[in-house]
Amino acid sequence: MVKKILVIDDVKSELDLISHYLEEAGYVVTGILNGLEAIDKIQSDRPDVIVTDLVMPDITGLELCRKLKKEPSTADIPIVACTTKDRKMDKSWAKKQGVVGYVVKPCTAEQLVDAVRSATM
């Protein structure tokens, strides 16, 4: 079965590139430019995996993670961070918020796809 991936990034060019990498790997991808819109989309069309930037306006990727992990209906959706934040502390904090995969931008298609595959195992 083909996995549905929801990609959230407020930078359109980044969203397009990440989506392209995942589509080329055979995933069905939906892209959203805003964390608040993503919450509605997740409720209406539950993805198999979420790939999110951590630095976004309105609601950060970490706030989104906390919100999703508190809700029983979304708590089990794997979340992969794809972000420019590269400090050890950032990675540690993200894992505490429920992130299961962490990829630092700029990333290769292989790095991103590997993180998504690992998140679904």
With contact defined as beta carbons under 8 Å apart, do 18 and 63 qualify? no
Model pTM?
A: 0.95
Can you tell me the mean pLDDT for 26-55?
Answer: 94
**Strands 28-32 and 4-8, bridge-based pairing:** parallel
Q: How many Å separate Cα 14 from the centre of its chain? A: 12
User: What average pLDDT does the segment 85-106 reach?
Assistant: 93
What is the pLDDT confidence band of residue 94, given thresholds at 50, 70 and 90? Answer: very high
- pLDDT confidence band for 23 (50 / 70 / 90): very high
Please tell me the distance from the alpha carbon of residue 81 to that of residue 16, in angstroms, as a whole number: 16
Residue 95: per-residue pLDDT: 93
Give the number of domains in the chain.
1
- pLDDT exceeds 80 at position 98: yes
- Give the CATH number, domain containing residue 41: 3.40.50.2300
Average pLDDT (108-113) is 97
For residue 121, what pLDDT band results from cuts at 50, 70 and 90? confident
Cα torsion 78, 105, 61, 97: sign: positive
Range of the domain at 28: 4-119
Beta bridge partners of 7: 31, 51
Q: Is the pLDDT of residue 80 over 90?
A: yes
Mean pLDDT of 66-80: 95
